[in-house]
Amino acid sequence: MKDVKATIVRIIAEYLDKEESEIKTTDTFTEIGLDSLDIMELVMQMQEELDCKIELSQEITTIDKLAELIEKQ
């Protein structure tokens, strides 16, 4: 399986037009600069690229937590 966390960081960095190194996996999506609409769009792209189903919940607030969720599937 490809590196889930690296893929998520790449997708978010491209979306925000930032360098991947600027994205901290421990920052919340809000701290990174994403709102709920951005997250919905990004989740669809991630599901496609990572071939998975993502059920977001209130606990999934960081890239680390999202990667953990996807890896458990």
pLDDT digit string, tens, across residues 1-59: 469 999 999 999 999 999 999 999 999 999 999 999 999 999 999 999 999 999 988 89
Q: What is the CATH number of the domain that holds 48?
A: 1.10.1200.10
How many domains does the chain contain in total?
Answer: 1
> What's the pLDDT score for residue 56?
86
> What's the pLDDT score for residue 2?
64
What pTM was estimated for this model as a whole? 0.92
Rounded to an integer, what is the distance from CA 8 to the centroid of its chain? 4
For residue 16, give its domain range: 4-72
Which token pair is 12? Answer: 């978010």
